[in-house]
Structure 1
Amino acid sequence: MLITVSVRGDADYTRLQDAVDSLAKEGGGPVTIRIKPGVYEEKITIPETAPPILLLGEDRDRTIVTWSDNAHTLGEDGQPLGTFRSGTLNVLAESFTAENVTIRNASGAGTGQAVAAFVDAGRAVFRRVALLGDQDTLYTGKGLQYYNDCYIEGDVDYIFGAATAVFDRCTLHNKRSRGYITAASTLEGTPYGYVFLDCEITSGEGVRDVYLGRPWRPYARVAFIRTIMDGSVAPEGWHNWGQPDRERTSRYEEHASSGPGGDTEKRVDWSRELTSEEAAAYRIIEIFGGWHPEGY
């Protein structure tokens, strides 16, 4: 099934949320929602009852979904939304894919937590998607998540949550000094948390002392494998969030990091360098327990 959306009115719908709401309430076969280039000023929710959806843009630089809620924005009940209700795109369905679009939280720097995408799905795939924000850009709530050739920017904890997520050939862009890329809250006993494969870390001019991660919860797991890191990455690499006991339970790993920020000689002693054999075991199909997102 194919549904089209265009802000210019030359499609089935002019609003993306209207297209989503038109789908069957329970179950149903896969649906492609083709989004024509334009700026869609909407807060989008893909509900739990939605069928498998492919949100397909033509060009991520010209196909933009944007909203500006933050944790302090007042909701309909007159109370602050909080971090978890601030998302521009909120994916609650079991199965979801997005390609060739930009998802932006335009709240701005200094406004606090402001999520661009809250992904709380069973299985989710993002290909050639830009996720733009400042603090808490991407909230990976749960499930298995795959990000391929994506651009993700932010300043503080801009990739955070409990999901098992693979970032494959993605660009991570640090917008401010003394920030944090990841804040994983991996559940105890989960084999994998965040895995970055063949990614690149870039930054704005003069940005320095950015940590690869800090543990939002005690069992945070993050691995950077073959990542090119610019000079914005802090030499020590990892931060304990002021809680030394989490140094014993968190698992922070690197292998073959390169670039000005890739020197691991001064990394904290509670992180570890993977051997070539250990790094080779980080295969997508193994990380996802037999599921491979290709063709998903």
Structure 2
Amino acid sequence: SLVFLAHTASLFINKLKMPKKFDMVFSKQLLFHYYSLSVSVMIIVSQVEAYCDVTVAQDGSGQFWTINEAVMAAPSWSPTSYYVCIRRGTYMENVVVGKDKTNLAFVGDGSSLTKITASRHSPEFPTPFTATVYVQGNGFTAKYMTFENTAGPEHGQAVAVLNMANQSIFYQCTLLGYTDTLFAKESLQFYRECDIYGSRDFIFGDASAVFQNCNLYARVPNNVIIFTAQGRQWARENTGFTIQNCSITMDPKLSSSYKTTIRG
């Protein structure tokens, strides 16, 4: 959908509160960036239905048994999309998509069927290195899969996805964690029809990120649960989180006696 373009740009401009002489410049930049992302989304959704460059499968039916093996074998600095199809199963590994692995696409069999999971947490690891999946390569996309950090609420920061890839897209994915589930560190990011679970600051970072038609779930019934913690440091910085047509509520598994109160 291209409906969110002007809306997204206007939201960012309103929140930045910059002098008027900057408004037109940043407005044009944001419209261009999110138009590019929207076109990318349509291309990705239309192209990845059946095509695979390589397949990862735990039953041996693919070229690789692990996701890290497939990532390492992917071409470096690819100008076009390279599709890694990840068949159903639970993959217990910490995956790193390096800066040179550009335009890499992960395609699962469904968020309830394909899962990447690990359990690193602070203080045993610095926060960035707790990530189950650490994405650096620009143009990264993920579709139909789950990313999980199983470190429980009793631990510190435990990231499921650290994303710093420019023009990255997550479509119909589930992100499971507690504290710091999604580290949207920097660059342009787009999340569409994703389910994101956490308990504290579980979407944070300094990216320019759009969350559209997503579900944000609070997992632990604490007195105060912080959904987002955008890290912009100064008023003229053109970053921020736009949450559009999303549901913000409690994890359905929690008792119905809890109710959601939104403060903004």
TM-score range relative to shorter protein:
0.7 to 0.9
Q: Which residue of 1 aligns with 2:149?
A: 105
Unaligned residue ranges in structure 1 (runs of 5+): 74-80, 209-230, 239-296
Q: Which residue of 2 aligns with 1:3?
A: 54
Q: Is 1:163–2:163 an aligned residue pair?
A: no
One of 44, 51, 68 as aligned partner of 1:17: 68
Q: Which amino acid aligns with 2:229?
A: A
The residue matched to 1:112 in structure 2 has which SS? coil
Q: Is 1:199–2:246 an aligned residue pair?
A: yes
For 1:207-218, what aligned pairs fall within 5 Å after superposition? none
One of 231, 249, 252 as aligned partner of 1:185: 231
Q: CA deviation at 1:131?
A: 0.2
Q: Is 1:172–2:231 an aligned residue pair?
A: no
RMSD (CA atoms):
1.5
Higher relative contact order (CA 8 A, sep 6+): 2
Q: Which amino acid aligns with 1:180?
A: I
Q: CA deviation at 1:233?
A: 2.4
The residue matched to 1:24 in structure 2 has which SS? coil
Give CA-to-partner distance per residue, 1:53-90, whole Å, 9 cap, x none: 110011110100000000122xxxxxxx2111110000
Q: CA deviation at 1:28?
A: 5.0
For 1:262-277, what aligned pairs fall within 5 Å after superposition? none
The residue matched to 1:166 in structure 2 has which SS? strand
The residue matched to 1:115 in structure 2 has which SS? coil
After superposing the two structures, state which structure 1 stretch, 189-198 or 120-129, moved more.
189-198
Give CA-to-partner distance per residue, 1:239-281, whole Å, 9 cap, x none: xxxxxxxxxxxxxxxxxxxxxxxxxxxxxxxxxxxxxxxxxxx
CA contact (8 A) 2:107 2:144 kept: yes
In 2, the alpha carbon distance for the partners of 1:164 and 1:187 equals: 13
Q: CA deviation at 1:205?
A: 2.5
Give CA-to-partner distance per residue, 1:35-70, whole Å, 9 cap, x none: 110000010000000131110011110100000000
Q: Is 1:39–2:85 an aligned residue pair?
A: no
In 2, the alpha carbon distance for the partners of 1:19 and 1:141 equals: 24
Q: After TM superposition, where is structure 1 displaced by more than 6 Å over at least 4 residues in a row?
A: none
The residue matched to 2:140 in structure 1 has which SS? strand
Q: How many residues align?
A: 207
In 2, the alpha carbon distance for the partners of 1:18 and 1:187 equals: 38
Q: Which residue of 2 aligns with 1:232?
A: 260
The residue matched to 1:95 in structure 2 has which SS? coil
TM-score, with structure 2 as normaliser: 0.75
Q: CA deviation at 1:187?
A: 4.2
Q: Is 1:71–2:122 an aligned residue pair?
A: yes
Q: Which amino acid aligns with 2:174?
A: A
CA contact (8 A) 1:70 1:86 kept: yes
Q: CA deviation at 1:30?
A: 1.9
Give CA-to-partner distance per residue, 1:156-212, whole Å, 9 cap, x none: 10000000111000000011221100111024213440011010012132686xxxx
Give CA-to-partner distance per residue, 1:109-164, whole Å, 9 cap, x none: 11110000000111110000000000000000000110000000000100000001
Q: Is 1:152–2:180 an aligned residue pair?
A: no
Q: Which residue of 2 aligns with 1:249?
A: none
In 1, the alpha carbon distance for the partners of 2:102 and 2:140 equals: 8
In 2, the alpha carbon distance for the partners of 1:104 and 1:34 equals: 18
CA contact (8 A) 1:71 1:112 kept: yes
In 2, the alpha carbon distance for the partners of 1:3 and 1:171 equals: 31
For 1:44-55, what aligned pairs fall within 5 Å after superposition? 44-55=95-106
In 2, the alpha carbon distance for the partners of 1:184 and 1:57 equals: 29
Q: Which residue of 1 aligns with 2:131?
A: 87
In 2, the alpha carbon distance for the partners of 1:30 and 1:85 equals: 26
One of 151, 154, 166 as aligned partner of 1:122: 166
Q: Which amino acid aligns with 1:94?
A: N
